[in-house]
Amino acid sequence: MVSKLFQFIPIALVLVVMVSAAVHDIRTREVPDGHWAVLGALSVVVSSGFSVPTAVGTGLLALYMCSRRVEGPLAVMVLSASMVSFAVACLMDPSQSHVNIGMPVMFLLGLLFYITGLLKGGADAKAFMSLSLAVPVYPSLQILWGPVYPQAYLMPPSMAVLLVALSLTLVPMVALFIINLFHGYRGRGMATTYTLPLDVASESHVWPVEDVTDGMIRRCPPSEDSGVYDRLRAAGAVRVRVTPMIPFLLPMAVASVVVLILGNPFMAMFA
């Protein structure tokens, strides 16, 4: 009973942090870095249960993620030292190589996602990287879908959270598709856009996908230019087609609950 309690405490803390981050993202579209500092500190505690070099490597990655001062040549040094620490950990205990390889790989993958724009928000990327460090292996408390090895080595908890979160983003797309179908709209963006009155759109968390070009109202990529509403109003528009700013931390928080409590649903394919 005591052992299960100690397993649950870090998972509970991770979920509290993820839910808090999602709430901040919904309300203000900004997430204080303190969330990731908490998970970074937790990751050092968790990784110390594997080995000292693992804890050192984890701490260095957390430092790189949370400190604004770690940049340029210093960032290269910190990341390199972290990789060396994980390599030493692998040599000391080859049986834990899946942890000591998986953690830095997932962390660097999150960094790559951010650099390439696959994860557009810095908070989204930090959430993924924090989960990679704080939850390197699946907990043994999962209710429905326990990990199946060796497949689970290729899909650690952070990757499972990301994939489940991406799946959850399909829900509003289905809803928008039905709404547009009901209102008789057929065409581009049928599953990703809808219309709002200009005044409502300008005060809402949405991106306009229409703008004025050569005096004509035309479709455009999602825009953060607040002047678009004035241009549309001057062109005589009263409504504008928009796409919602769905904060990705919301599905990530829900996915964290699913994966860490119920289990990785993708494991059902291998059970």
pLDDT, one tens digit per residue, over 193-213 is 888 898 898 888 888 988 888
Mean pLDDT of 12-26: 94
**Stretch among 37-46, 142-151, 233-242 having the lowest mean pLDDT:** 142-151
**Stretch among 2-11, 34-43, 262-271 having the lowest mean pLDDT:** 2-11
User: Between 158 and 202, whose confidence is greater?
Assistant: 158
Classify the C-alpha dihedral 151-152-153-159 as positive or negative.
Answer: positive
Percentage of residues of the chain with pLDDT beyond 70: 97
User: Between 18 and 235, whose confidence is greater?
Assistant: 18
* Short-list 144, 86, 125, CA closest to 260: 144
User: Between 82 and 222, whose confidence is greater?
Assistant: 82
Contact, 96 vs 51, CB < 8 A? yes
Flag whether pLDDT at 260 surpasses 70: yes
Cα separation values, 233 from 163, 204, 245, Å? 40, 16, 22
- Reported pTM: 0.84
Flag whether pLDDT at 125 surpasses 90: yes
Q: What is residue 1's predicted lDDT score, i.e. its pLDDT?
A: 44
Between CA 76 and CA 79 the distance in angstroms is: 5
User: Strands of 194-197's sheet, edge to edge?
Assistant: 194-197, 239-244, 206-208
User: Between 182 and 7, whose confidence is greater?
Assistant: 182
- What are the beta bridge partners of residue 240? 196
Flag whether pLDDT at 144 surpasses 50: yes
Between CA 47 and CA 56 the distance in angstroms is: 9
- What are the beta bridge partners of residue 195? 241
Identify the helix (H) or strand (E) that includes residue 211: strand 210-213
Q: What is residue 2's predicted lDDT score, i.e. its pLDDT?
A: 39
Contact, 165 vs 251, CB < 8 A? yes
How sure is the predictor about 4, in pLDDT bands with cuts at 50, 70 and 90? low
Q: What is residue 227's predicted lDDT score, i.e. its pLDDT?
A: 85
Flag whether pLDDT at 6 surpasses 70: no
Reported as a single tens digit per residue, the pLDDT across 50-63 is: 999 999 999 999 99
Task: Say how many CA atoms lie within 13 Å of 189 toward its Cβ.
Answer: 15
* Most confident segment among 103-112, 114-123, 150-159, 223-232: 103-112
**Stretch among 1-5, 7-11, 49-53, 60-64 having the lowest mean pLDDT:** 1-5
Between CA 260 and CA 146 the distance in angstroms is: 10
Reported as a single tens digit per residue, the pLDDT across 33-49 is: 999 999 999 999 999 98
Q: What is residue 72's predicted lDDT score, i.e. its pLDDT?
A: 87
Between CA 109 and CA 85 the distance in angstroms is: 18
The three-class DSSP label of residue 115 is helix
Q: What is residue 271's predicted lDDT score, i.e. its pLDDT?
A: 65
